[in-house]
Amino acid sequence: MIQLYIGNKNYSSWSMRPWVLLKQANIDFEEVFVRFDSFSPDSKFKATIKTINPVGKVPVLVHNGLAVWDTLAIAEYVAEQFPEKNLWPTERTARARARSVCAEMHSGFMGLRSACPMNIEAHLPEVGGLGSA
Ligand SMILES: N[C@@H](CCC(=O)N[C@@H](CS)C(=O)NCC(=O)O)C(=O)O
């Protein structure tokens, strides 16, 4: 059984990514929620996650005792484990293109990320958001 250690999906787009991938691909997994109290070295979050991932970050996928961290590495691992899901395009040039786009999204857009941190539950009528009632 796959376990996915993640933080708050409302704020952590990193956590959301492999969660969406696994859900979308219909792959069975156990979601293990690790609360963000703080990211300081003496936080409960760090103490918990460092028992799984030496880097001390979520998301982390654990499968048969192997811990895989970093969203792209997790996606690649899942794609290899479940080839029948065709997570990457089968055609070589389309696959290269898809990987380029994912890598760009993964490591780029720093300005956008800083200016627009994720908050799915935000209520922002002043910018046209519907929010929740
Ligand atoms: N490159 C990593 C980034 C993961 C990441 O930054 N996760 C944040 C959660 S939003 C984290 O755990 N931060 C803890 C810290 O920075 O100490 C990935 O793709 O998974």
pLDDT tens column, 100-120: 999 998 888 989 888 988 888
CA–centroid distance, 91 to ligand 1, in Å, is 31
Give the mutation target among 57, 102, 114 for probing the ligand 1 site: most ligand atoms within 8 A of CB. 57
- Joined tokens for residue 27: 């792959």
What average pLDDT does the chain have? 93
CA–centroid distance, 67 to ligand 1, in Å, is 15
CA distance linking residue 120 with residue 41, whole number of Å: 27
Residue 127 CA to its chain's centroid (Å) = 27
Position 132 pLDDT exceeds 60 = no
pTM score above 0.85 = yes
Pick the residue whose CA is nearest to atom 18 on ligand 1.
Answer: 70
Pick the residue whose CA is nearest to atom 12 on ligand 1.
Answer: 57
CA distance linking residue 62 with residue 78, whole number of Å: 11
All domains in the chain, ordered by first residue:
2-121 (3.40.30.10)
Return the pLDDT at 129: 63
Q: What is the DSSP letter of 105?
A: H
CA–centroid distance, 114 to ligand 1, in Å, is 14
pLDDT bracket for residue 60 (50, 70, 90): very high
Position 124 pLDDT exceeds 70 = yes
